[in-house]
Structure 1
Amino acid sequence: MAVPGIAGSVNVMLAIHEKKTAAIELYRPLRNYIASHYSERDAQNLEDDLEAVRQMRSDLENPQSSDALPEVRRDLLQSYYRALCAMESRFPISPDRDHINAFSFVWYDAFKPNKKASQQNIHLEKAAVLFNLGAAHSQIALSADRTGAAGLKVACNSFQAAAGAFAFLRDNASIKASVGSSATLDVSPECSGMLERLMLAQAQECFFEKVIGDAKPPGLCSKVARQVSLYYEEAYAALGAPPLSQHFDRTWISHVQLKSAQFYAEACYRAGLDLHEKEEIAQEIARLKSGINALADAKKSSKGVAAPLLDAVSKLETNLNRNLEIAVKENDRVYLMRIPPAGSLQPLPAASLVKPLHMGDVLDASKERLFASLVPDSSAKALSKYTEMVDNIIRTQVEKLQQGSEITRVKLKEMDLPDSILAMEGNFTMPIDIKEDVEAVQVVGGPSGLEGELQQLKDLKRVNEELLIQTEEMLRKEEREDAQFRVQFGGQWTRPQSTTLTKTLHDRLNKFAANIKQASDSDARIERAIKDHSALMEILNCRPVSLF
């Protein structure tokens, strides 16, 4: 249910009651899981964390405890939500035999307490905690003294925080809690979206109280009031559509409907003051009539609405009628302007001064230390698979590099051609062994065949260099990911440093790189020798071979 609150002469606003839950025992099932899936020693080391979770859940089950101020409840709910996020990645809670299935989370609907939902997973628990966080923020806002500037600021900020909590619920937990499981309607995306708009309406209403208290120009006051009305209209539209249309008490719906009409009429009233100053009397009369009609229609369905709200509406209606009477008399006596029909009026301009508070930072569990020493099972499996994949890639690439190196070594050994050619200088007769070698070269194509062999060497060198670069990149990638896991898991990441594990590979890569460089230098010497003895190379094209 929602509860109205009034501070002095300020407007009636709504706060949300927290959802109620049934007591459950978390400590023993969680400890048993740690002991069976990790070790008894881990369970003993995590006693403090287990006790912290048990205490937070116990405090959550007793919202009426003596120290349960809204601010205390807010802090508790935020801490418990972060703890749930830490637990979700480490403790599989579901009906499965191998999971934690010793308890169910039970929560009652905040607006229909006779309805409840029960789930053996953590999704409903997280959704309910977010709902209660929004409720706690709304209660902080309602308890603020809005007759003073400081209290008005607290109320406005808290309503925006409540809107942020309900928006976070809608975007991050509502669907998970509802899909495939029973869940109460109050944590549905439709309801959380409606509550977000309602909280924004009340935050904007705080701004309206501020601009009125600061005696701001009526044109600005009209824009602020119109936006209040628009937010209430959105909330009212959601309340009137399935699945919420049959879920809320009629007085709740009437309150939102009347608020929407009240602030539309306020916008018309303030716009009328601005138009009167500009002597646009016909427009003023049309606006005032539009506001009066909106109030009259809304009052027809106002049964059960809080009396202070009805009083505020009546006072506003009196002011509208008084100004309308004055404007009509002036128009009849002085201006004689034709009154435009209501349908021809342009929509009143609006100015939104509020937005849902971003809750991502407040609820971020990435720095949560609870159960930090436990590596989630999914992460351990992913790490094992990743390590195996890296090992296979490195092994394959090293084998390719070794094969390429062996081919290069054989080719270089076969090509002792530069020494043979240089030995011939100054001799007038060709040794038989050299002649046979030359004839063998001619058989395979002569100088053109030699060029083909050199080109093949270049191609092999390029392939080996590419393999070397690919392997080095894989090792660097492995080092980066190892560093990322160390940052993510901290002390839980017990695998030796990547640089330690891959030192041998780096050494071998450096050796291969040196071999390739040595081979490249040898190739360059061969090419230079061929160019320096181009005349001799021409001899190889002669049949029979002649030195002259």
Structure 2
Amino acid sequence: MHSSNLLYVPLRNTQALDLGKELSNAIALKFFQPASLFEQDLNYLTSLRDKVTGISNDDSSLSASIVQLESFQLTLFTYLSCLKELDKKFFDGCVDFTWFPTIYSKRSTPVTSDSFQYEELNIIFQIGCIYSLMGFGQSRHLDEGLKKSCQYFQLAAGSFTKVQQQVDRIVQTPVENRQFDPPLDFQKETIQCLSNLMLAQAQETVWQKAINNDTTKDSIVARLSFQTFVFYSEAFRLGQLSSFIRLEWINHIAIKKFHFLAAAHLRSSIASLNSFQYGEQVAHLRIAQQAIDKAGKYKRYVNQFVLEDFSGLSETIAIKLRVAEKDNDLIYLRIVPKESDLKPIVGVSMVKPIESDKFGDLLPSARNPLFADLIPYVIINYAQAMRERQEDFVQSKIYDPLQSLNLLMTKFLVERDIESNIDSLEQPENIPDSIINHSREIMDHGGISSIEWSFSELSKLNKECSHLVVECQKRIDIYRQEDEMIKRMHGPSGDIRPNTSSDASDILIAKVDKMREYLKQAELGDKTIIEKYNGIAPVLKVFVGGYSSLNKFIPNSNYAKLDENLSLVISELRDCVSKWETIKSDRSQFIIRVEKKNRENTILPKLIEEYKQNKESLYDSEGQIKSTNLELIYEAHLKILDQDLAYLQQTKQDQQQLEHQIEALNSKFLAHYHTSVSSTQLQRQQALQSLDAAYVKYLEIISNLEEGVKFYHDFINKGTRLLHELEEYLGKRRMESRELEMALSNHQQRIKEQQQKTALSSQAAVRQEIVSPKGQKTNIWNPDSGIKFD
């Protein structure tokens, strides 16, 4: 690159990456296809990413020819189109992309993200950098070079504007749905500073072309100059707000800003002189001189070519002001108006951010479509999510309702003492079969020791959950302490990290608070289960004691001949109880059939078929899968369970009819029972009733314990994820804090140096002498020559 009085934006550096290998690992891990099927695509991407790395990290890129830069640009656009394809096919988290900011410091902290959007953002930024290099590299001695330079700087501004638009979309996305948080040097002020700098330089080339034309009017040149000043002024303002713009850039932009303000008023003074407005001529020259004086404190670290241009302009203004003031004082005697009384110079903008057509027409690369036969991970992810929803659907719509029906019927029979009343009359000495079956069931499940072990497990899980909450709270406390420390050190206005205290941190804190509340509710539930268990523990000991224990617990009764009508009712009740046993058995077989059907009928093949048949219509205008289309497939898939849901309704109706029948028979039974039962039979009935009641509560306790264990395991899984989120967030904030420290240190050093320069300039001004004008400098128009547009 030749020496110039303009700036280019340096390329960001990146860490080398074997992209093909990383994607191959992702395919092997998450996709149901072998990576070997896509070997050519994987090798192609590795090669392409290597080229991007070479362009970004090779210092020789800065001195490349325009042809080479155009080749680099083509590589970047090709890679960008590939990234958009990869974003559709793969998932965030499968590749780590690392980039090093370079716009504000040679020593910068690398930023790593596993999001394809982050990689896209950096590539768009690189494209803007290449355009700035192309604009910087054009010859400014010929109109054609100025024209191309202007076009390239506008394209650079358009690229940086696109970066800003992408960042705005990310920031506007709710924190919990963001794929990543943009790095600090992609903040609004920094990117907009670069965009305005590129527009200022593009406008400057228009101004340069105008002054090269001898017939261009001074008033037009003044307006072009003033608009150039406007762009540089905005870039300077944003650069001051950003802590990531180099000091030498700030000074460069400041010199340029005041240079073009002075140039605008110099040209206006010439126009005033030509209109015989001698007072206005002096006023414009004085304003120009004031701009020159203000610029003096920014000369340090500024390019020599910029200073030469500025020096030439300064000398010209000084001479013209001295002559104009002398002529007006001695000859014209015109009143010199105040600046506020002057007709304002209205800038005319000849440039704007231009977004390259290649962004809107990111055609597939030579090897695209990449991974044509690879099922996008979003389809697999949807399939996994829908599989979980299917499991939940079967659980909530079939398993749970059926279990509730069984428990309701058991409670119905126990509350009415059906079996205990019958057994107390028909079996005065034998232990009823139902009681023996309950005893075996309880012992098969481990009896009392199993329940007590479950309570022990619940206690351990509760402690583990409590520890998780404590650890999460520790991370929150650390975050608050470190955040407060940053604010104490630099003040609220000095903390230029992304303002996530009202979004990300608040969301995480709310999650921790909710975890704590859930845990309190679970502990209350555990106490309720323990109290319920303590209430039936003595009777459970009878069940697990076996036949001898039951025989001691259940008193024998005297045998009595039953009334014929009572015997008939008892017989009918026995039949109803048998029907219930048959229904329970059928339901057990039904559950086995549903489990098999649910296991064998997965939705993934249907989603894959839909994707292959309607690939294009599945994506929206932004390249995202339309979830509504997949929801229709899911709804159709669930119809395989329609017959099972119908069975559930039918067995529910059968149970209700059986309950009505038992209720009616029980009323008849009780009418005879109270007149024929003996005291010994009543004692036996009460013992059997207490066993039945304990059995029902035992079933409830077993169900409660299972739910408790499931709750704690889910709590641990979600709590562990939240702890990782907190650690990642804390690490991210610490990294931002380190970058903040570096940026603020640079910023404070910049202020200190400017203060020193101001002091030196003030001292120098006292000793300054007016010198004779120097010869014309490079890139400085001749104020005495007329200029015009072609």
Q: Indicate whether 1:300 and 2:303 are aligned.
A: no
* Gaps in structure 2 of 5+ consecutive residues: 386-612, 626-790
Offset at residue 140 of structure 1 (A): 1.1
Does the 8 Å contact 1:89/1:376 carry over to 2?
yes
Q: Which residue of 2 aligns with 1:54?
A: 46
Name the amino acid aligned to 1:108.
F
CA distance in structure 2 between the aligned counterparts of 1:378 and 1:142, rounded to whole angstroms: 43
> C-alpha deviations, 1:158-213, integer Å up to 9, x for none?
11111011001000146638977565433223211110000000000010110011
The answer to whether the 8 A contact 1:109-1:185 is kept is no
Runs of 5+ unmatched residues, structure 1 = 95-99, 386-480, 494-548
Where do residues 364-403 of structure 1 align in structure 2 (5 Å cutoff)? 364-365=361-362, 367=364, 369-371=368-370, 373=372, 374=374, 376-378=376-378
Within-5 A mapping of 1:18-417: 18-34=11-27, 40=33, 43-63=35-55, 64=58, 69-94=68-93, 100=94, 103-110=95-102, 111-112=104-105, 113-173=107-167, 176=170, 181=180, 183-215=182-214, 216-241=216-241, 244=242, 246-359=243-356, 361-362=358-359, 364-365=361-362, 367=364, 369-371=368-370, 373=372, 374=374, 376-378=376-378
Cα deviation digits, residues 1-41 of structure 1 (max 9, x gap): xxx9635xxxx100111111111221123124345655546
SS in 2 for 1:61: helix
2:617 to 478, 485, 502: 485
Cα deviation code 1:40-82 (max 9, x no counterpart): 46x4453332222211211122232878632222222221112
Work out which structure has the larger RCO, using CA pairs closer than 8 Å and 6 or more positions apart in sequence: 2
Q: Which residue of 2 aligns with 1:416?
A: none
Pick closer, same or farther for the CA change 1:26–1:40 going to 2, 3 Å: same
TM-score, structure 2 as length reference: 0.44
Kindly indicate whether the alpha-carbon contact (under 8 Å) linking 1:117 and 1:183 is maintained by their aligned counterparts in 2: no
Structure 1 residue 250 displacement after superposition:
1.9
Q: Give the counterpart letter for 2:310 in structure 1.
A: V
Normalising by structure 1, report the TM-score: 0.63
Taking the aligned partners of 1:482 and 1:249, their CA distance within structure 2 comes to: 51
| C-alpha distance 18-82 of structure 1, shift in aligned 2 (>3 A) | same
- Answer whether contact 2:9 2:132 (CA < 8 A) is retained: yes
The CA distance in 1 between the partners of 2:316 and 2:279, in whole Å, is: 18
Query: Are residues 283 and 380 of structure 1, via their aligned partners in 2, closer, same or farther at CA, if it must alter by over 3 Å?
Result: farther
**In structure 2, the residue corresponding to 1:13 is in which secondary structure?**
coil
Choose 166-175 or 265-274, whichever is displaced more: 166-175
Cα distance between partner residues in 1 of 2:28 and 2:247: 52
Distance in 2, Cα, partners of 1:206 & 1:50: 44
Matched-pair contact (CA < 8 Å) for 1:141–1:154: yes
Partner SS, residue 283 of structure 1: helix
**Shift in Å, 1:363:** 5.1
C-alpha distance 137-305 of structure 1, shift in aligned 2 (>3 A): same
Residues 413-470 of structure 1, C-alpha deviations (whole Å, 9 max, x = no match): xxxxxxxxxxxxxxxxxxxxxxxxxxxxxxxxxxxxxxxxxxxxxxxxxxxxxxxxxx
SS of residue matched to 1:107: strand
CA-to-partner distance for each residue in 1:339-364, whole Å, 9 max, x for gaps?
A: 01123334311010011112364354
Deviation at 1:262, TM superposition (A): 0.2
Residues 354, 237 of structure 1: CA spacing in aligned structure 2 closer, same or farther, 3 A cutoff?
same
Q: How many residues align?
A: 379
Contact (CA 8 Å) 1:78, 1:363: kept in 2 or not? no
Residue type of the partner of 1:107?
W
Change in 2 beyond 3 A, CA 1:299/1:152: same
Task: Provide the alpha-carbon RMSD of the alignment.
Answer: 3.3
Q: Which amino acid aligns with 2:134?
A: I
SS in 2 for 1:305: coil
Q: What SS does the corresponding residue of 1:347 show, helix, strand or coil? A: coil
Q: Tell me, what secondary structure is at the counterpart of 2:13? A: coil
Identity score, percent: 24
User: Which sits farther off after the overlay, 135-144 or 357-366?
Assistant: 357-366
Distance 1:170 1:59 in 2: 25
Report the CA distance shift for 1:320/1:302 in structure 2 as closer, same or farther (over 3 A). Answer: same
* Aligned partner of residue 296 in structure 1, secondary structure: helix
How far off its partner does 1:275 sit?
1.4
What are the Cα deviations for residues 470-523 of structure 1, in whole angstroms up to 9, with x where unaligned? xxxxxxxxxxx969629999xxx9xxxxxxxxxxxxxxxxxxxxxxxxxxxxxx
Q: How many Å apart are 1:258 and its aligned residue?
A: 0.9
Cα 1:190/1:82, change in 2 over 3 Å:
farther
Find the aligned partners of 2:230 and 2:285 in 1 and give their Cα distance: 18
Q: Distance in 2 between matches of 1:84 and 1:259?
A: 38
Question: Aligned AA for 1:343?
Answer: S
Match of 1:13 in 2: 6
Alpha-carbon deviation of 1:323? 2.2
Q: Give the corresponding residue for 2:533.
A: none
